[in-house]
Structure 1
Amino acid sequence: MEKVSIVYWSQTGNTEAMAKMIAKGVEEAGAKAELIQVSDANADELLKLPGFAIGCPAMGAEELEDAEVEPFVASIEGKVSGKSLLLFGSYDWGDGEWMRIWQDRMTAKGASLVTGEGVIANNSPDAEAEAKLKAAGAELAKL
Structure 2
Amino acid sequence: MKKMAIIYWSGTGNTQAMAEAIAEGAKSGGDSVELFEVEQFDNGTLAQYDGLLFGCPAMGDEVLEEGTYEPFFAEVEGSLKDKPVALFGSYGWGGGAWMREWEDRVKNDGAKLFGDGLAIENAPDSDGVAACQKLGKDFAASL
Structure 2: distance between partners of 1:51 and 1:108? 17
Structure 2: distance between partners of 1:3 and 1:47 = 11
Q: What TM-score do the two structures reach when normalised by structure 2? A: 0.92
Aligned to 2:122: 123
- 1:105, 1:38 → 2: CA distance? 19
Is structure 2 residue 63 aligned with structure 1 residue 63?
A: yes
Q: Which moved more, 1:120-129 or 1:83-92?
A: 120-129
Return the offset for 1:139.
Answer: 2.8
How far 1:81 moved relative to its partner?
Answer: 0.9
Separation in 2, partners of 1:74, 1:39: 14
Gaps of 5+ in 1: none
- How far apart in 1 are the matches of 2:65 and 2:74? 12
Report if the CA contact (8 A) 2:4-2:33 is conserved. Answer: yes
Shift, 1:24, TM fit = 0.7
How many angstroms does 1:47 deviate by? 3.0
Partner of 1:135: 134
| 2:5 and 2:33 in contact (8 A); partners too | yes
**Offset from partner CA, 1:101-127 (integer Å, 9 cap, x none):** 11100101111222x110010001133
**Structure 2: which 5+ residue stretches go unaligned?**
none
> For residues 84-103 of structure 1, what are the structure 2 equivalents within 5 Å?
84-103=84-103
Rounded Cα–Cα distance in structure 1 between residues aligned with 2:79 and 2:3: 20
Across the two proteins, how many residue pairs are aligned to each other?
142
In structure 2, the residue matched to 1:16 is 16
**Aligned position for 1:49:** 49
Poorly superposed stretches of 4+, deviation over 3 Å: none
Q: What's the RMSD between the two structures over aligned residues? A: 1.4
CA contact (8 A) 1:52 1:140 kept: no
Please report the TM-score for the alignment, with normalisation by the length of structure 1: 0.92
Identity of aligned residues (%): 45
CA distance in structure 1 between the aligned counterparts of 2:116 and 2:128, rounded to whole angstroms:
13
Q: Judging changes above 3 Å, is the alpha-carbon distance between structure 1 residues 2 and 51 closer, same or farther for their aligned structure 2 residues?
A: closer
User: How far off its partner does 1:68 sit?
Assistant: 0.8
Residue equivalent to 2:26: 26
Q: Aligned equivalents of 2:46 and 2:130: distance in 1?
A: 25
